[in-house]
Amino acid sequence: MAELNTAPEKQGKKVRTKKQALRVDLTAMVDLAFLLITFFMLTTTLNKPKAMELNMPVGDISEPVPESRTMTICLGKNNQAVYYLGLAENPIISATITGYGKTGLRHAILDMRKKVLAATGKAMMVIIKPADTSVYENLVNTLDEMTITNVQQFAIADIAPKDISLLKDKQAY
């Protein structure tokens, strides 16, 4: 409890006495502070780190993925990406430039997945190739699009000279 000690007053004659300093006992307040700190430390929840699950292939890949099922996304500058189906030298669907988001890359991935499923009856494989001029955020956005569109097979690879020339043709390098 707080304690307040003062000197008793003398009745009758007015005598000037020295006033003693007030003393307030704050022991209970310190106890309360430690109890509150302990309470909030034990009841708060810490933020869980956000990480994307990444599965790597085990062993040798026995069967190569045919080019009719392979979509390549080349990440360029100014938040632009170029995608095509097949090989860069002879694409099944020619290289097209797009942005990110629902109407850009996500729409392109969903359309390609439908076309590949209709043509081959199998799932599509996506190869992501970031260029030197692309930014890390675009790679993360592309990986997010793989999760959103439920693409099960994708890989990150080094960009080839032919892909760089495609990006230069589209003014995205």
Provide the residue-wise pLDDT of the chain in tens; the chain has 173 residues: 556 555 555 566 666 777 777 888 888 888 899 999 999 888 887 777 777 676 666 666 666 778 888 999 999 998 899 999 988 888 888 888 998 878 889 999 999 999 999 988 888 999 999 999 999 999 999 998 998 999 888 888 899 999 999 889 888 88
Asked whether 128 and 73 are in contact (CB, 8 A), the reply is: yes
- Of 128, 126, 106, the closest CA to residue 116 belongs to 126
Helices (H), the chain: 27-43, 105-120, 136-148, 161-169
Listed by start position, the domains of the chain span 67-169
Count of positions (residues) in the chain: 173
Complete DSSP assignment for 25-81: --HHHHHHHHHHHHHHHHH--PPPPP--------S---SPPPGGGEEEEEE-STT-E
Task: Please give the Cα distance from 113 to 27 (Å, whole number).
Answer: 70
> How many other C-beta atoms are found inside a 10 Å radius of the C-beta of residue 67?
14
What's residue 9's pLDDT? Answer: 58
Which pLDDT does position 103 carry in this prediction?
87
- Phi, psi angle pair for 31, to nearest 5°: -60, -45
The SS3 assignment for 127 reads strand
The Cα 74–Cα 139 span in angstroms is 10
Q: Which fold has domain 67-169?
A: Nucleotidyltransferase; domain 5 (3.30.420)
Separation between Cα atoms, residue 86 and residue 118, nearest integer Å: 15
Residue where the block lists tokens 């994307």: 52
pLDDT at residue 4 in the model: 59
Q: What is the pLDDT of residue 26?
A: 81
**C-beta neighbour count of 79 within 10 angstroms:** 17
